[in-house]
Amino acid sequence: MQHLADQKGAGPVRSYSEAIAFAIMLAALIVAPMLVYPVFLMKALCFALFACAFNLLIGYGGLLSFGHALFFGWGAYLAAHLAKVGKLTLPYWFGSWQWLTIPLPPLPPELAILGGTLFAALLGLIVGALAIRRQGIYFAMITLALAQMMFFFAIQAPFTHGEDGIQAVPRGKLFGLVDLADPTNMYVFVLVIFLACFLLIYRIINSPFGEVLKAIRENETRAISLGYKTERYKLVAFVLSATFAGVAGATKSLVFQLASLTDVDWPMSGEVILMTLVGGLGTLFGPVAGAFFMVTLENYLTQIGQWVFVVQGVIFVVCVLLFRRGMIGELAKVLRVKL
């Protein structure tokens, strides 16, 4: 992953570049709902967060997960279920299969999202612990395979309602006070979640933990010889990434009031990779730019139906062959700053 470090050597690092870029992004996101349809913006924000979570893993840890739809989709399923039904039934083995019922009422949105997030973190722990046992290309294949397994589980589990998905999820009242059925309130809520997670990811990347992660990306053997338990670092990075992906999915299920099989299927994993790649792997703002670009593009391409996949494929090929730094990566190179 040597090339990812390119931009650091591109010139003198101006320490304010990231702060300025953040201010521009913030201003744009505050002004945007006056110009653009809020649901579209909320969709883009959810995918931007999803892509940032994915980027945390590949851009800074050098781990390509091909199964991130798993965390996004199951975060969405659980949040939607908690917000709409609440009651949890879990099978357990005690001589024979029994059902353990936790009688919960339908939960308010903040708890529903929290529930979805925690579940995604748990899945991240299980999948991550299995996947980090192999490196490189195998890691991608294992995450893809485990995600596909959970996709089949999503088809069979009764609470996901199969092809229909969980529909008409109520947005509810935030902390019992703010009515999220109102688009403006919902937009502010999504924006706050996005910004909080974005800043948290920024903090993680620039923490000592993040530095060790980058060292592992550049040269894992050397990191091991320096005494770092790289497997633990990779596992923590994986769980963090899964958790943020879960937040994105859970929020998305409230925005669209829907959690469906599309969210857990492998094309979704491909899409988040594409967003991150288009924006720029290993850049802070790249995933956000990439997500807005792809969501906008798909918005215009809805008329052409199935050709969307062809367009996505072409963008993949072009990016990999000619444009590996991505939009923000190229911009950072031209401006000679860190973004």
Partner 1 sequence: MFEVFGIPSTALFGQLLLGLINGSFYALLSLGLAVIFGMLNIINFAHGAQYMLGAFAAYLLLQYSGLGYWWALLIAPIVVGAIGIVIERCFLQWLYKLDHLYGLLLTFGLALIIEGVFRNFFGSSGLPYSVPPTLQGAQNLGFMYLPIYRGWVIVFSLVVCLATWFVIERTRLGAYLRAATENPTLVRAFGINVPRLITLTYGFGVALAALAGVMAAPIYNVSPQMGANLIIVVFAVVVIGGMGSIMGAIVTGFGLGVIEGLTKVFFPEASNTVIFIVMAIVLLIRPAGLFGRAV
Answer for which of 90, 102, 321, 334 binds partner 1 (CB under 8 A) is 321
Nearer to partner 1, 50 or 194 (CB): 50
Question: Least Å distance between CB 14 and partner 1?
Answer: 28
Does position 242 bind partner 1 by CB under 8 A?
no
Distance CA 336, CA 339 (A): 9
CA 162 to mean position of chain CA atoms: 23
Does position 57 bind partner 1 by CB under 8 A?
no
Does position 96 bind partner 1 by CB under 8 A?
no
Does position 64 bind partner 1 by CB under 8 A?
yes
Distance CA 109, CA 172 (A): 6
Neighbours of 130 (CB within 10 A): 13
Instruction: For residue 96, give the H/E element and its range.
Output: strand 96-102
Question: Least Å distance between CB 3 and partner 1?
Answer: 7
Question: Least Å distance between CB 251 and partner 1?
Answer: 27
Does position 222 bind partner 1 by CB under 8 A?
no
Question: Least Å distance between CB 256 and partner 1?
Answer: 24
The DSSP code sequence of 60-78 is HH----S-THHHHHHHHHH
For residue 272, give both structure tokens.
């988040």
Nearer to partner 1, 37 or 153 (CB): 153
Q: Is the dihedral of CA 191, 296, 271, 182 positive or negative?
A: positive
CB 151 within 8 A of CB 264: yes
Binding site for partner 1 (CB under 8 A): 1, 3, 58, 64, 66, 130-131, 133-138, 140-142, 144-146, 148-149, 152-153, 156, 266, 270, 273, 277, 306-310, 312-317, 319-321, 324
